Each structure stands twice: as C-alpha cells, then as structure tokens.
Amino acid sequence: MIAIRAITIMHLRLAVTGVVLPAVLILSLTLLAAIHPRLQGILITIAGIALFVVAMLLLPRFKGGSTGPAWKPSLA
C-alpha cells in the first residue's frame, strides 16, 4: 500500500529507489534478525553503518538557508 501511494505521488524511479527499496532492505534485515537471533548485533551494526554512509553521501546535497548559527550568543 505504501509503495502504491509513493508511486502515485512521486515518479516511479524516485518512489522505488527512495521508498520501496529502503523499506524492503529494512524489512529483510528485521526478518533476518528475528530468524537468527545470534546475528542481531552484527545486523544492527550493519544497518547503523549503512545509515551513516547514506547520510554522509546525501548531506552535501542539502542546501540549508542559514550559514551561521541559529542564535547569536549575547556578550553581556
């Protein structure tokens, strides 16, 4: 249902790569951890590292409006 909603809102390629593929990967990782409990630690580590790598790859594409701090400390 989520895949159908994502495809109707976004283009097919963006919906598959941005919504469906990550959902399938997380679901398969969760099912693998449920089936093999002794692998839970390494699977959680793999998921964390993958999330960190993706965030570091996408961070340069983010264009924030502010270049400085959100607040200026008072010198009083």
Structural domain boundaries of the chain? Answer: 21-55
pTM as predicted? 0.60
Is residue 15 within 8 A of residue 9, CB to CB? The reply is yes
pLDDT in tens, 22-64: 889 889 988 988 998 898 889 889 888 988 988 888 787 776 6
Of 3-7, 34-38, 56-60, 72-76, which range is least confident?
72-76
Tell me whether residue 50 is exposed, middle or buried, using C-beta atoms within 10 angstroms of its C-beta: 0 to 12, 13 to 18, 19 or more: middle
> What per-residue confidence (pLDDT) applies to 38?
92
13-46 burial, b if ≥16 CB within 10 A, otherwise e?
A: eebeeebbeeeeeeeebeeebeeeeeeeeeeeee
